[in-house]
Amino acid sequence: MATTRPERGRTGPRRLGNLQGERVYLRPPSTDDTALLFEWLNDPEAIAPWDRFEVESYRSMEEAIHRSSEDQTSLAPRFLIVRKKGDYPIGVVGYFKSNTALDSIDVWYAITIEKERGRGYGKEAVRLMVDYLFAHFRTERVGATSDIDNPASMGMLRSLGFREEGKLRRALFHHGEVHDVVVYGVTRPEWQDARDRRH
Ligand SMILES: CC(C)(COP(=O)(O)OP(=O)(O)OC[C@H]1O[C@@H](n2cnc3c(N)ncnc32)[C@H](O)[C@@H]1OP(=O)(O)O)[C@@H](O)C(=O)NCCC(=O)NCCS
């Protein structure tokens, strides 16, 4: 069966605006956020264990975030997750083309403030991000990988309608050990169905 490709740019928009949710909104990082991001990206309990983004120096991180709008493979944080109540950042989300030969985009995410986990903010933020990706990119699949020992990440992906597609063995190193990861994906029609059911 032939599928109709949406008329959207393959590479997405250059400049990102804010994405509004009910309890959180996403906003692109500004230079004022650099110190906070540097702290989070180096914190072994926040983002650092899962992150592969360059945080060698404050300056290199700042430059990489600045350049990321031109680079679909960048692992830089694309948005801060901001809690509306209190208006303060509680985490980050990003997206990247993990395989340049495929029409697929991966998401990554972290609620970096531990006490804010398990309150539905991660799910709402990733939902905003996936809505955004399907709206602005021609991709037919959004993917994510999760450490096999990360029940919160896997629970959130399943709850959003991502399906398990396989496993990658010994693919992630953190906290001194190699871990297997689970590959998840959601297709454009599946995401649309889930949206229709919610409305
Ligand atoms: C993974 C993470 C982003 C999830 O965000 P969160 O705000 O804590 O999760 P939410 O409260 O939005 O929960 C979303 C769903 O996941 C489920 N979930 C959350 N924590 C869970 C846990 N520890 N075990 C099982 N399921 C869990 C919830 O039940 C919920 O499902 P439901 O809506 O169907 O009830 C967050 O816990 C986190 O940042 N953890 C540390 C960093 C990390 O693991 N990053 C991911 C690297 S791949």
CB-ligand 1 contact for 150 (6 Å cutoff): yes
CB-ligand 1 contact for 159 (6 Å cutoff): yes
CB-ligand 1 contact for 119 (6 Å cutoff): yes
Q: What is the DSSP string of 3-35?
A: -PPPS--SS--SS---EE-SSEEEE---GGGHH
pLDDT tens-digit series, residues 116-156: 999 999 999 999 999 999 999 999 999 999 999 999 999 99
pLDDT tens-digit series, residues 69-105: 889 999 999 999 999 999 999 999 999 999 989 999 9
For ligand 1, atom 45, which residue shows the shortest CA distance? 110
User: pTM of the full predicted structure?
Assistant: 0.92
Q: Which of 18-27, 51-60, 65-74, 97-106 has the lowest mean pLDDT?
A: 51-60
Residue 175 carries which side chain, given as an amino acid letter?
H
Which residue has better confidence, 157 or 45? 157
Average pLDDT over residues 57-77: 90
pLDDT greater than 80 at residue 15: no
Task: Walk me through the domains of the chain, giving residue ranges and CATH numbers.
Answer: 19-198 (3.40.630.30)
**Given the CA of residue 147, which atom of ligand 1 is nearest to it?**
48
Mean pLDDT, rounded, of the chain? 90
